[in-house]
Structure 1
Amino acid sequence: MKAGEELPVQRYAVTRAGLVRYAGASGDFNPIHWSDRVATAVGLPGVIAHGMYTMALAARAVATWTGDAEVVELGAKFTSPVVVPDDDDGVDVEVAGTVRSVEDGLVTIAMTVTSAGEKVLGMPKAVVRG
């Protein structure tokens, strides 16, 4: 990897079925992640993906780009929810990346994570040791 290199965009479908599986794995059964009634009652536009699920998709993109590289740092701010429709297709989360620097064996990757054309993670970045 070289500084300035644009990494291929990774796309991941997020469905309600995926949210149920994630809830089971994480233990986070908050009804905003499965009930439209509850989600809209608290002011959300509908059922939303778990923030850490969205972060995991960013991590998955990093793993795709870097293979077996050790992840030294991974971080982001949760800025907007990923709204997941009640259908079989769900919604895509897209992860784009740019290599910001390569120094002392560490590669810093800045990412843009979007869904439905809106950024859903703020300042996402990863640092890997390659």
Structure 2
Amino acid sequence: MATRLKYDEVEAGTELPPLTVPVTRATLVQYAGASGDFNPIHWNEKFAKEVGLPDVIAHGMFTMASAIRVVTDWAGDPGAVVEYGVRFTKPVVVPNDDKGAVIEVSGKVAAKLDDEARTVRVDLTVTAGGQKVLGQPRAVVQLA
């Protein structure tokens, strides 16, 4: 079991270790099976292009879940996340090649919120292909 991060060990400005998440078409098929989201924009290139997308795109919830991993890994406990929200700004385009796409996630403690509750706000930066794919991704985390 991972050691939970202590509130007293963190200051505003603390940077979280970055995370790189590779995404291939196979990843999307696996996620579709697990989530039950079989929308063809996530697996059918022809359909995705017919509806105006550049190619198949990753599920928004997959992108959101991948991003919060940087926080749960850092905090040492997924249950430490007490609030999490994002805005979907750009899709993660997943080409049909050997590389796929890469989601890059970084985070920083923006503020200590409540000394008694031991909560901090973590702001994330989430990009794919050099573009931000999630807007205002923020988490409130309760530390040990």
Give structure 1 stretches of 5+ with no counterpart.
none
Which structure has the larger Rg? 2
Map of 1:36 onto structure 2: 45
Correspondence for 1:99: 109
Counterpart position of 1:49 = 58
Runs of 4+ that moved beyond 6 A: none
Q: TM-score, normalised by structure 1?
A: 0.96
Aligned residues with identical type, % of pairs: 58
- Give the match for residue 64 of structure 1: 73
Displacement of 1:8: 2.1
Q: Deviations over 1:42-97 (max 9, x none)?
A: 00000000000000011111111111151100100001000001122211101110
> In the alignment, is residue 15 of structure 1 matched against residue 28 of structure 2?
no
Aligned residues: 130
Residues 1-55 of structure 1 deviation map (CA, whole Å, 9 limit, x = unaligned): 2111122221110111000010001100000000110000000000000000000
Computed over aligned residues only, the root mean square deviation of the Cα atoms, in angstroms, reads: 1.0
Any stretches of 5+ residues in structure 2 without a counterpart? Answer: 1-9
The TM-score, its normalising length taken from structure 2, stands at 0.87
Q: Is 2:138 the counterpart of 1:129?
A: no
In the alignment, which residue of structure 1 is the partner of 2:127? 114
